[in-house]
Amino acid sequence: MAVIHVGVNDVPYPVGRGRTERSTARIAEILEDQYHLMETFVQSRMGEISEEIATNGANYIEKLFGAPQSTPDLYAGIELWLEDEFKNFINDEVETFGIQGVPTAAAEKGRSRRGRRVVRAGGSFVDTGLYRDNVKVWVEDGGR
């Protein structure tokens, strides 16, 4: 059975100007504890994920029987597709899911941590760019 993992590459955030030392892993823990972003994303996309895996599986079978140079990867492209979908979710869709606390108070005031006005969808997590850019998805399959 395949297991889809959503996590982040652990990268330190810059320190200074009143910021404490944090990393993308710590930010991911905070955001998941408070807002369940990754969980909501996966649950909301389960149908699309299943379709993408089925399509990918069909392509895998075609390549497997089509005299391939090497054995194709059943999950090739799925991880990258999911990473892109998660980035779109954070940027443009997260505020439409009815997650408690979203939009955040800062987004409702139209402010980011950088003191700039935020006037776009996904404004609640505009300051999470390093986190968003380091999201990593991987699929583990016990049968591979």
SS (H, E, C) 59-85: HHHHHHCCCCCCCCCCCCCHHHHHHHH
* Tally of CB atoms within 10 A around 57: 13
In this predicted structure, the answer to whether residue 144 has a pLDDT above a threshold of 70 is no
Look up the pTM and report it.
0.77
Tens of pLDDT along 7-60? 999 999 877 666 678 899 999 999 999 999 999 999 999 999 889 888 887 877
95 conformational bin, left if phi > 0, alpha if psi -120 to 50, beta if neither: alpha
Tens of pLDDT along 57-81? 787 777 777 755 555 577 768 889 9
Tokens 């699929």 belong to 139
Is the separation of the CB atoms in 33 and 25 below 8 Å? no
Cα–Cα distance measured from residue 105 to residue 111, given in angstroms and rounded to the nearest whole number: 9
Structural domains counted in the chain? 1
Domain residues for the domain of 68 are 2-141
Residue 127 identity (one-letter amino acid): D
Region 83-109 average pLDDT: 87
What local confidence, expressed as pLDDT, does residue 60 receive? 76
Nearest to 140 by CA among 62, 52, 73: 73
* Tally of CB atoms within 10 A around 134: 18
DSSP string, 83-118: HHHHHHIIIIIGGGS--TT-S-HHHHHTB-TTS-B-
